[in-house]
Amino acid sequence: MTDDLIELVRQRKVIYDSKCKDYKDNFMRNAAWEEIAEILEQPVNKCKDDWAKLRNAFASALKRRRNKKSGQAAAALVPWKYEENMSFLLPYMECRSTKTNVTTTPESPPTEESPDESLPESPSTSRSQSQSRSSRGKPNKEPKLQELYDLMKSFQDLRRQKQNFRQDMDETDLFFLSMSKELKALPKLEQTKIKLDLHTAISQALIRQLEHRDK
């Protein structure tokens, strides 16, 4: 479900792109979440909560990658499970430097540090955060281009490793991989039925093969 949620959000820029013309339209944003909830067959609030946790975990993963020691080998830093999936958010993230400690929100994973990167949320939330920041002084909103470049290069390396892995696959592997993407777009009940039919067909074929071998 997590992969599906990330992909469904990626397809709806109104949720995360503050430059989208409908970003400040609460009706359009809510409609997007309603669509996602209907596809995933989950409550809207659960989808929003799960996305907030993913967003915070992604920001924390970027912080750990950025703060790694210069002499540390890149292979020593294990990527977060959904780091590549969430990389589409990089252009919409805002790196900000602050001298104060940031309190971990309830949505953040308890074992991870609070993120330095902020992602667009709702317009009302953005306004309240702006007011809060103004009381502490004007923060530096200049994007750290070198850090963003390094992060995007890391994701390119991950994609390259993934492509090399796929080169080792045969036609059967690639077929089932492509079918899995189609399958994930279907309702859960249909997915279960198709998996059962496929498992039955393969099992019957194996039984026939064994029977033929024993003759």
- Do residues 23 and 42 both lie within one domain? yes
Same domain for 203 and 119, yes or no, is no
pLDDT higher for 170 or 197?
Answer: 197
| Residues 208 and 114 grouped into a single domain | no
Please tell me whether residues 120 and 163 are part of one structural domain: yes
| 193 plus 139 within the same structural domain | no
Least confident range of 85-89, 104-108, 189-193: 104-108
Could you give the number of structural domains in the chain? Answer: 2
Same domain, 44 and 72: yes
Q: How confident is the model at residue 180 (pLDDT cuts 50, 70, 90)?
A: confident
Per residue in 6-38, pLDDT (tens digit) is: 999 999 999 999 888 888 888 899 999 999 999
| Contacting residues for 108 by C-beta, under 8 A, at least 6 apart | 53, 56, 57, 60, 114, 115
CA distance 114 to 183: 35
* Element housing 118 (H / E): strand 117-118
Same domain, residue pair 88 and 175: no
Same-domain check for residues 126 and 189: no
67 and 155 belong to one structural domain? yes
- Domain identity same for 192 and 145: no
Residue 208 belongs to domain spanning:
171-214
Residues 101 and 120 in one domain: yes
Angle at which helices 171-184 and 188-214 pack, to 10 degrees?
Answer: 150
> Phi, psi (5° rounding) for residue 117?
-85, 140
CA distance readout (Å), 3 to 9, 61, 84, 85: 10, 17, 11, 8
Residues 80 and 156 in one domain: yes
